[in-house]
Structure 1
Amino acid sequence: MTLKLEWSNEQSVHEIPPEWIVRLKELLKIAGEEEGVTDGEVALTFVDDERIHELNREYRGIDRPTDVLSFAMREAGEDEIAIIYGSDDEYEVIEETVDGAEVEDGEDGDDDSFSEPLGDIIISVPKAFAQAEEYGHSPERELGFLFVHGFLHLIGYDHGSEDEEKEMFGKQENILNKAGLSR
């Protein structure tokens, strides 16, 4: 299994050079290694400020544009059922119990051609370019920062408290430094 990046560009304000996508794939690999995430698929979409504003309002109830949004697919709550697709339309159902133990039912479903989605990351490219200028670094670095930030949210990190923020932002900087995207 492996980590995969699927991406699309739904904005036309700024060009996204192919080498930046290569860099984002490298960041995903480094972040996965650092966090012990060895397989899954991340869907990345580049949008404009208007679209991210709509999404932020619709899904977070915040009526303004933001720089990045993350929508995790692995946030199964208590007693929710997660369906993991396998080969030939077989599937495995894992039911989480109250104490977190897993009860498996169904086929093995171990197929290297399909990666379980980790979630979606949406980045406002105009916002990223503006922030890069404001912070005095390259747009490539800012897109990398936002992508790693989104990835860490997908795998469960948050920055609601001072301690959480310190941990998450430390991890982001470590990953960016390993990829050669330091400030």
Structure 2
Amino acid sequence: MSINIDIHDETDELSLAQLELVETLLKYVAREERVTEGSEISVTFVTNDRIREINKEYRNKDTVTDVISFALNDDESDIIDELIPNLLGDIIVSYSRMVQQAEEYGHSVERELGFLVVHGFLHLLGYDHMNEVEEKVMFKRQEELLEAYGLQK
């Protein structure tokens, strides 16, 4: 199982090990979630100012957030042809917010990094937390994946 992951670090803050963690973790989740071979996602690490701009422009929320996902395949009609790659979407993470939250929650930056990219990826795969039932399902799956991968709290 292989998916294509395009990673951009606009902050120049992530280490090579952290970038590799993102790639291996997302490939693991893709395998566990049975994502279509050759699917593509993009992960971009940005500043607090940039994620605030994105949040304001696309979600009408003038505030810094930790992760935003933009799914490209919201329904089956978005998948046109088997020859065209399955473009799942984009995950955008605030690097500064990630580091801050790791400190607040008392765990490693790598754990928070894993948490945020898996959270974003699950959104691209159709998981959500708009109500209590959805939230329980999504967060349970998220923790299962992180723990199985080795990123416990």
Kindly indicate whether the alpha-carbon contact (under 8 Å) linking 2:98 and 2:113 is maintained by their aligned counterparts in 1: yes
User: Is there any run of 5+ residues in structure 2 with no aligned partner, and where?
Assistant: none
User: Alignment partner for residue 148 of structure 1, among 118, 123, 148?
Assistant: 118
Structure 1 moving runs of 4+ over 6 Å: none
Q: How does 1:13-52 map to 2 (within 5 A)?
A: 15-39=13-37, 40-52=39-51
Give the CA deviation at 1:116: 2.5
Letter in 1 for 2:78: A
Structure 1: stretches of 5+ with no match in the other structure = 85-91, 93-107
Percent identity among equivalent residues? 48
Is contact 2:7-2:44 (8 Å) kept?
yes
Partners of 2:50 and 2:114 lie apart in 1 by 20
TM-score, normalising length from structure 1?
0.77
1:6 aligns with 2:2: no
Give the TM-score, by structure 2 length.
0.91
CA–CA distance in 2 between the matches of 1:51 and 1:71? 15
Determine which structure has the larger helix proportion and give its number.
2
Q: Is the 8 A contact 1:30 1:178 kept in 2?
A: no
Residue pair 2:79, 2:86 contacting (<8 A) in 1 also: no
2-structure distance, mates of 1:68, 1:181: 18
2:78 maps to 82
How many pairs are equivalent? 152
| 1:3-36 CA-partner distances (Å, limit 9, x unpaired) | 1211111124xx2111112211221122112221
